[in-house]
Amino acid sequence: MSDPVHRRVVVKLSGEALTGRQGFGIEQEMVERLAGDLAAASRLGVELGVVVGGGNIFRGVEVSERGVPRPVGDTMGMLATVMNCLVLEAAIERAGVEARTLSALAMPSVCETYNRKRALKNLGKGRVVLLAAGTGNPFFTTDTTAVLRAAELEAHAVLKATNVDGVYTADPKKDPKASRYDRLSHQEAIEKDLRVMDGTAFALARENRMPIIIFSIADKNAIESVLRGKGRATTVG
Ligand code: UDP
């Protein structure tokens, strides 16, 4: 087996990844599987930061459509990411790897507050670090958080888990001729207005020359394959 090609990465999991077949909330079976994948990736000796979304519970924009001020809705979204991180943290530890949730919003009776030094210290101890509560600010997404934390923590790449094994020239479900890009520049990703990540996340990645590897989480051990430089994926950067 080839050695991992990255030594420190930030993995971005959308909240949706935790819903499994339920379509909403948290499916424990899915959590266990993802935790197993993350634990296996950590055992390769790769330092893992994990940013988890909250869209399986609350998204600020959707909450605000019901009349709640947007910043309040966004806070609810950030709190949802904390719940997702806590359930993953417990499952990663059950899988035999130490994990720590660090939250961008201070909640000392729940978990430690994020700061860069604390995150680096935990990563250095081989713990999986779950980066909760996004950036701690409304009007941002957890995709942007993943790029921001990767830059702050001097990670080598962001591994963005999706339902598709990369970026295609067209929707592969609708167009049989659609082909997958192996590599795209950040500029191309921005110009093509790729929906796979928001514009702010791509712009921040371009500014910091941060590669984003887009891969499918559907296959078991997908994270490990990407870390070994194998598997189907598109690299932006
Ligand atoms: N959010 C926020 N600031 C951040 C990150 C997230 O306000 O820095 C809120 C926002 O309301 C967002 C929600 O948290 O809709 C959940 O995050 P996201 O939509 O990125 O989750 P995903 O789609 O990846 O599950």
Ligand 1 atom at minimal distance to the Cα of residue 17: 25
Q: What is the mean pLDDT of residues 61-83?
A: 96
Q: What's the confidence (pLDDT) of residue 21?
A: 87
Torsion of CA 14, 17, 21, 25, to 10 degrees: -60
Ligand 1 atom at minimal distance to the Cα of residue 143: 20
**pLDDT tens digits along 19-59:** 988 889 999 999 999 999 999 999 999 999 999 999 999 99
Give the residue, 67 or 231, on which the prediction is more confident.
67
Q: What is the mean pLDDT of residues 89-108?
A: 98
If we measure between CA atoms, which residue out of 109, 116, 89, 93 comes closest to residue 101?
89
CB neighbour list of residue 177: distance below 8 Å, 6 or more residues apart? 169, 170
Please give, one letter per residue, the 3-state secondary structure of 94-158.
HCCCCEEEEECCCCCCCCEECCHHHHHHHHHCCCEEEEECCCCCCCCCHHHHHHHHHHHCCCCEE
pTM to 2 decimals?
Answer: 0.96
**pLDDT tens digits along 205-229:** 999 999 999 999 998 889 999 999 8
Coil/strand/helix, residue 226:
helix
Q: What's the confidence (pLDDT) of residue 5?
A: 84
**pLDDT tens digits along 124-142:** 999 999 999 999 999 999 9
pLDDT at 2 over 90: no
Helices and strands (DSSP H and E) totals, the chain: 8, 9
Output the CA 172–ligand 1 centroid distance in Å. 27
- Per the prediction, the chain carries an average pLDDT of 94
Ligand 1 atom at minimal distance to the Cα of residue 52: 24
Token digits for 124? 């250095």
Q: pLDDT tier at 174 (50, 70, 90 boundaries)? A: confident
Output the CA 180–ligand 1 centroid distance in Å. 27
Which residues does ligand 1 sit against, CB inside 6 Å? Answer: 14-16, 53-55, 59-60, 73-74, 77-78, 81, 134-135, 137-138, 140-143, 145
If we measure between CA atoms, which residue out of 77, 57, 90, 234 comes closest to residue 162?
234
Q: What's the confidence (pLDDT) of residue 1?
A: 64
Q: What is the mean pLDDT of residues 167-196?
A: 88
Token digits for 178? 């659609």
Output the CA 80–ligand 1 centroid distance in Å. 9
Edge-to-edge order in the sheet of strand 128-132: 112-113, 99-103, 128-132, 47-52, 8-13, 157-162, 212-216, 233-236, 183-184
